[in-house]
Amino acid sequence: MKILVAVKRVVDYNVKVRVKADKTGVELSNVKMSMNPFDEIAVEEAVRLKEAGKANEIIVVSMGPTAAQETIRTALAMGADRGILVQTDTELQPLAVSKLLKKVAEKESPDLVILGKQAIDDDSNQTGQMLAALLNWPQGTFASKVELGNNTAKVTREIDGGLETVDLKIPCIITTDLRLNEPRYASLPNIMKAKKKAIDIMTPDDLDVDVMPRLTTLKVEEPEGRKGGVKVPDVAALVDKLKNEAKVIG
């Protein structure tokens, strides 16, 4: 079995995001970047499936500037076998990413495509679903457990009402949720080995995909600061404020 895993380079989740002075986006200069946390879970799941003898090759694909190779190297150090970078400086929106992934999937013919349920920078939660539609493959989104059988995948997915289990025919798309696993830290020897693993570089033009944005960001603003609270002496005063000042009760 061949597994294709999509990973995205995003602002590290520990970094406080700041808006640019001209409000055209968020500040990325001299900011620590790392792999999207949900994609780390996707890589970990692929590596575990390989360790369990369910897969024999893991290919990691990322899209973006040259610096995205660092993100691919991180996945290679975790246990992936080779990487693909679709290199572009154009802002990639979910539809463009889905079209690029479709072309890569058609080129590589994987049995399974795993990606994070969403990226922490735009929180779109669209790419996996769009990719499934473009490929006409079954999908198991928000996965908290994955079990592979003979040409099937049983996915336990997290929904608002609890858990739902779906049986999918392979090839299929799986998007990962937080409780699927806990990603490993890459060891120093594996980091050194990852430097020697192959990364193929291509462009959207090579894949014959138009990646020009369909949506335009008009302005980015920070949320309003939270106002300080007040203390009240008793319940009667609390009720009075809720009724007459906040006007949230009648």
β-pairing verdict for 162-169 and 152-159: antiparallel
pLDDT at 206: 95
- Statement: residue 114 has pLDDT above 80: yes
Average pLDDT over residues 87-113: 95
Query: What is the rounded distance in angstroms from the CA atom of residue 166 to the CA atom of residue 186?
Result: 32
CA 230 to chain centre: 40
Contact at 8 Å (CB) between 61 and 5? yes
Contact at 8 Å (CB) between 70 and 13? no
Give the closest residue to 177 by CA, choosing from 45, 14, 34. Answer: 45
Domains in the chain and their CATH numbers?
2-244 (3.40.50.620)
Q: Which of 60-74, 127-141, 173-187, 228-242 has the lowest mean pLDDT?
A: 228-242
